[in-house]
Each structure stands twice: as structure tokens, then as C-alpha cells.
Amino acid sequence: MTHIDAGAGLDPVHPVAPPGTPSTGLTRAQVAERVARGQVNDVPVRSSRSLAEIVRANVFTRFNAIIGVLWIVTLFVAPIQDSLFGFVILANTGIGIVQEWRAKKTLDSLAVIGEARPTVRRDGRSVEVPTSAIVLDDLVEIGPGDKIVVDGVCAEAEGLEIDESLLTGEADPVLKRTGDRLLSGSFVVAGGGAFTATKVGREAYAAQLAEEASRFTLVHSELRTGISTILKYVTWMMIPAALGLIVTQLVVKSNDFKGSIARTIGGIIPMVPEGLVLLTSVAFAIGVIRLGRKQCLVQELPAIEGLARVDTVCLDKTGTLTEGGMDVSALRMLDGADEEHARKVLGALGESDPHPNASLQAIIDAYPDSEEWRCVESLPFSSARKYSGAAFSEGDGQVSSWLLGAPDVLLGADDPALAETSRLNEQGLRVLLLARAARGLDAPEPAEDARPVALVVLEQRLRPDAAETLRYFADQHVHAKIISGDNAVSVGAVAQKLGLKGAAVDARKLPAELPEMARAMDRATVFGRVTPRQKREMVGALQSEGHTVAMTGDGVNDVLALKDADIGVSMGSGSEATRAVAQIVLLNNSFATLPSVVAEGRRVIGNITRVATLFLVKTVYSVLLALLVVCWQVEYPFLPRHLTLLSTLTIGIPAFFLALAPNTERARPHFVRRVMRYSIPGGLVAGLATFATYLLARHHYTGEGALSAETSAATLTLFLISMWVLAIIARPYTWWRIALVAAMGVAFLFVLIVPWLQDFFALRLVGNTMPWAAVGIAAVAAAALELMWRWVDRRFPA
């Protein structure tokens, strides 16, 4: 007999294999021989990129190629000061590589902790080995919840049912017998056995599907998609603006060649938001490192962002809100049954199952087997059926069949034992019914006319951190739905103990149609007697109403729902199958870690939205300045060194701190719209004000050195406006944000007053009239920015 919270579909009865000598598996010498031939399961770890791939991803980008070419040209035609932007890009790329490498090491170390360790039989002994250590012809032992990690042929089967839905889409488990083929990527839902590995490594079925086959779904990242969209539009804007700038500076204006090249490059470089992708990657990487310290394995980086956007979290009760272990608190006899005999039956049921779950383990602990009976038939447990069974040959030679499962499934609706069951369920206790079957286990309905013998009362242990975590979700306006296979009244009582309000519904009474199911789920909070297929349908129903759904679970019956949810969260102690399809694995089995994941996601989303606005304001005003220069046919106002200085002080350094700062803002959708509604007006105001100062300076200054003075005045205006943009982005103010903005202002002032820095950056404010005019224009632009952004907030709310 096998008893687990898993599986759906078939109700097979399996004769128990007669005793015999099982296969001893490979010898140590045979394993070494296969390793030497390369017949080993050497599929690379899916969640980790190599150092070479990390370097390639950070170095060989479209914008790095553009900037790299311009940098090389600048090194030949201009002073080293104008080549500073290239060194900044090198530093940024280096930071990105280091942070991602740190994140990789964190992920790899956590993956080792959470890695499945299949049991193989070698030299007649069962040993656990890493998945990568399985060799061809290994005899791999499997039980409920185990994932089939390589292709093979079934060598031993005892009520073995395999779920291949993640490969074939078929939800019903498939009964496997000796000689049947097993495919990697499927998992065991009932029974147990062993199989011989016939295809390992890249030859296995799941490996051939794709590198991502073991994951089956990829998390959608609105941040990354949005940034890619923005970069696409930036590229389209850059091309005509850059071409016009080149023609103007090299052909229309009769400047010296090297000076024209430097100013052309000075106009093109700031159009590229080169640090935006870097800071997004760094923010994700540091989030992985922070969560790794809390024993949270993020198997897909955007999952951090995804969980922050979740508005509904579906929780499996057992293993999530309650601890895995249970205790038998009482055995209540029915209809005058013999308690001593019932204890023997329960002991025999426990002994006959090689893979007991938490409920049966509690029974095993309470009622040791008397070894008087021999199991001759077994009916595996499935979540769809809600009971299991076994037939025993007792000491007198008689054969008796017994069932153990949900009272409200095994008993008729008017049975008086149900009233006692309801009273116990209302106390939050879990109740199983031991019944003697009137029919054989191979009958179409073996539970029909079964005679109730005893109620087994189990006490569940609530997780001490569950109530606080549920309060956190409620405070954050995230709706919690408890979805369990247990009795709805019992689950409702547990929910009330945890402070979760709402009606408890028996899922067997839910409508099958999607819209009606979605409405029913909106009205209720707790759902009991849910089958694995229903869990999947309930997730789909919530998604059909526009909800972003996270699903937590640890049992095989949660796999399909975890796969379909927007974010799947598995406990580290959960089955191998659940860990394989989940995007987030809580290795410490602590439900209380989830708020930390939500907080990290909110930090990433909120902060990247802030810094993206900074970068794109620069892109907008750079494109606008290039177009205005082309239309007026004047020299471009800046050299590369000026914009490197401005970018570093108003974007680069502040963005790094802002991107990694704490942020508890609720995650909101429409990333591109929210960024562009600020970037476009901010860039337009900055560009127009800067160009107005530049034209005014061109009329004010004459003679030798006029261009340098004009550039200095325009730089002052652009810096002050950019500082105001930074001051707006940094809100709400804290002491360190104020200090950050002030430090950038002091740094620029330092450049203006130190002679050698004036020479280095070619910044010298000439006279009093034009510098103060530049300050006045910047003040008017700052006021316009403030009014415009407030109007945008009212007119286009996020």
C-alpha cells in the first residue's frame, strides 16, 4: 500500500510482489568503467551561467559596441579627458560581471543544498548520489514525489503510477509495470519501485526537449521586457539624430577636424542609456545574494520581481501553514469495534507502505506493526480518491480488506459518525476513517458498503510564523486563498487560528465552469477536498479574472498548480517534483521567508523605475539637443568630458545608491508608461533650457575662448536642471538621500573652484552676467519641471 497526498485518476489494485532477491545494481568497478567512457548524467546545472557566459553577456552588447568604437576614435583625436566615458563603461561592465558572478556562486551553493539526490542501488546497497553521478545502467529507486531524472526501463514496480503531464499534457497518472519505459521529467505520484537508466545526460528525453525542459515555464519580467522596448525606441531615435549631428559638425561647420569629431562623439554618447541594463542586472543579482543568505533559492531571477507583483497567493495547508509532522491524539472506536484489533490493523497498514506521508507516519509512530499479518494487495492513495486500502492475510489464514481515508468520502451522507467527524474538524483536527471493506479492492467502488471501525484523530502543528506572514500579506493587500485536500471544516478551523477570515468551501461543490469558479473563489477564502486537477483549474480561474497568482506547496499534488501559477514557491523539504517546477525554493522550509522575497522584488521594481527615469531624461535631452544643433547649424555645445562629468554626478553615482536602497512601495504595472511619462517632459525641459542658455551665451561671448565660455554656461544650466530631476527622483527624502544629492552638488562646485579641475574638464565661468543668467534659466526650468510632473501625476496616474 502507498499513502501519499498526490496523484489523480486511475484506481488500480496491485498484487504485492512476492519476496525474492532484488537486483543488487552495478558494482563499484562497473560504475567507474562507465564514468571513464563518459556514460554519466552530465547535463549542466540549468540555473547557472558559466563565467565565460557572464562575461560575454555583460561585454558584448549592442550599446557597448557603439560606445567602444566611439571610445577608440576619441582616444586618437581628443585629449584623455574626453575619453573618460570609456573608462566608466569598463568600470560599469566590471561591476556587472563581479555582481553576477557573486550571484552565480550564491545560486550554485544553494542549488547544491536543494539539489535532488536520487537513490541508486550499488553493490547491493541503497545510496544517495547527486543527479550528475548517475551512470548508464544504474538501478534507480523511486517513491512518491520522486522525479524521474533520466530515461529508463522499469525494473521493479509496486503500485507504481507516473505523472507525465509535464511532458505530454495528459493529467491522468500512468500505471507502470516491469519493462515499461520511463521518461525523464515525469514524476511518481503513487507506489514505488526501481528503474534501470537507459539514457543519461544529453540523450535523456527531458534534456532533448530544451535546456529549459526541467522548468517548463519561464517567468515573465515586465522590467526586462520594458527596458528592451525602451532601448529599441532609443536606437530608432539615435540613428537619425546621430547622422544629422555628424553631417552638421563635419560638413556644415568649418571647425578643425579633431574638434568636430570630439563634439560629434560628445553628442552621441549621452544618447545611450548605457548603465540602465547594468543596474537592472546588478539589482537582480544583489537581490539573489540577499535572499540566498536567508536560504531562499531563486531559480529564475525575474521571479523576485514576479512575486512582488502578485495580488493573490494560494497556500497549501499541509507543509505550508502547518509543519510536516503530525501526532495521533485519539483513536475513537465506532459501533463497538475492538480497539486492540483496530490498532493491529493500523500497525499493519503503516508497515505495508514503504513511503509513508506525514499522516501515515504519525500512525506508524503510534501503532507499531505486530508482524502477525502479511499484505497481499494494495490500493495506492490518490488525492482524487481520498483513500487508500490494503488486504491482509491474518494469522488464522483469513484475508481482510481495509480502507483508510477521508470520512466524508468513505461514509454515506447520513452516517452518524460524520457528526463526530465534524465536531473534531471544527477544532482544527484532521480525521481519518479506518473502515473494513465489504468488497474486494479490485471492485469498481471498493468503498461502497464499507463498515466504519474507528476514527483516527490527528493533531497538526501550526507553523509559528504562519500567522505573522498572513498578516503581512493582508497589510499589503495580497489576498490569501488556502487550497487543501483536507476536510473544508478542518482547514477553515486552522485558518481561523491563524487569523484568516472568510468562508470555508467544499471544493466538490464548486462549479466546473471557469467564470463561475472564479466568482466563487472571490467570495471565499478556504477550500477543502480539492483535487490536484482542481488546484490547477482554480489557479487558472483566478488568472482569468486578471489576478497575478502565486502558488505555494510541497506535495506532488501541488505540481500542476505550481507549474501553471505565475510564481511557484516550493518548500525545500517538499517533493523533488515540486522543487523542479517552482521558481522559488524556500530551503529553510520557512513560510516567513516570503515577505523577504516580496520586499526584494519591490525594491528592485521601485528603484529601477526611479533610476530608469534618470537615464532616459538624459537620453531625451541628448537627442533633442542634437536635433536643435542640426536645425540651428551650430557647434554642439559639449565635449565628451562635460557629459561624462554630468552623467557621473547626476546619474551614475546616485543611480547606483538609489537602485540598491530599501523600497517598500507596492509594485505597479505598466513600467514603460510610468517611466516615459516623467522622462519625456523632463528631457524636453532640460534640453530646451540648456539650448536657450547656449544660444544666449553665443550672443554674449565673442572672440577667442568664446566657445569654451558658451559650453561652460550651458553645462551649468544642464547640471542644475539635472540636479533638480535627481532631487525629485530621490523623494521621499531620508537623511542619506539628502546627503547624496548634496554631495553631488558639492562635487560639481569643487570642479568649478579648483583650477586644475577647471582645466581638466574645460569648465571656466566667464564674467557674472552669463553665469547668473544660466542659473536663472535653470531655476525657471526647475519650476516648470515641478509643475509639469505634478500635472502628469494628476493627468496620467500610474
DSSP 710-767: HHHHHHHHHHHHHHHHHHHHTPSP-HHHHHHHHHHHHHHHHHHHSHHHHHHHT----S
The CB density around residue 533, as the number of other CB atoms within 10 Å, is: 18
Q: Among residues 207, 505, 482, which one has the least CA distance to residue 320?
A: 482
Asked if 267 and 636 count as a contact pair (C-beta separation under 8 A), the reply is yes
For the purposes of burial, counting CB atoms within 10 Å of the CB of 91, is it exposed (0-12), middle (13-18) or buried (19 or more)?
A: exposed
H-type alpha helices, 633-670? 640-647, 653-660
Asked if 578 and 562 count as a contact pair (C-beta separation under 8 A), the reply is yes
Q: Among residues 453, 514, 432, 502, which one has the least CA distance to residue 474?
A: 502
Sign of CA dihedral 688, 693, 699, 702: negative
Report the distance separating Cα 436 and Cα 167, nearest Å: 38
Three cell numbers at 228? 528592451
Report the distance separating Cα 568 and Cα 584, nearest Å: 6
Q: Using alpha carbons only, how large is the chain's radius of gyration in Å?
A: 34
**Residues 6+ away with beta carbon under 8 Å from 292:** 106, 107, 109, 110, 298
Asked if 690 and 637 count as a contact pair (C-beta separation under 8 A), the reply is yes
Conformation bin of residue 654: beta by default, left when phi > 0, alpha when psi is -120 to 50: alpha
Residue appearing with cell numbers 505565475? 566
DSSP 119-153: EEEETTEEEE--GGG-BTT-EEEE-TT-B--SEEE
Report the distance separating Cα 145 and Cα 501, nearest Å: 32
Report the distance separating Cα 72 and Cα 95, nearest Å: 21
Q: Among residues 441, 538, 439, which one has the least CA distance to residue 484?
A: 538
Sign of CA dihedral 85, 91, 97, 102: negative
Q: Which helix (H) or strand (E) holds 686?
A: helix 671-700
Q: Which helix (H) or strand (E) holds 598?
A: helix 594-632
Asked if 167 and 330 count as a contact pair (C-beta separation under 8 A), the reply is no
What is the chain's length?
A: 798
Between the two ends of the chain, the Cα-to-Cα distance in Å is 57
Secondary structure in 3-state letters for 415-478: CCHHHHHHHHHHCCCEEEEEEECCCCCCCCCCCCCCEEEEEEEEEEEECCCHHHHHHHHHHCCC
Asked if 570 and 552 count as a contact pair (C-beta separation under 8 A), the reply is yes
Q: Residue 337 in 3-state DSSP?
A: coil
Burial letters for 233-271: b for 16+ Cβ neighbours within 10 Å, e otherwise?
A: ebeebbeebbebbbebbeeebebeeebbbbbbbbbbbbb
Q: Which helix (H) or strand (E) holds 612?
A: helix 594-632
Give the active site residues.
Answer: 316
Asked if 390 and 1 count as a contact pair (C-beta separation under 8 A), the reply is yes
**Residues 6+ away with beta carbon under 8 Å from 491:** 317, 482, 484, 504, 526, 527, 528
Helix axes 466-475, 594-632, angle to 10 degrees: 30
Asked if 559 and 569 count as a contact pair (C-beta separation under 8 A), the reply is no
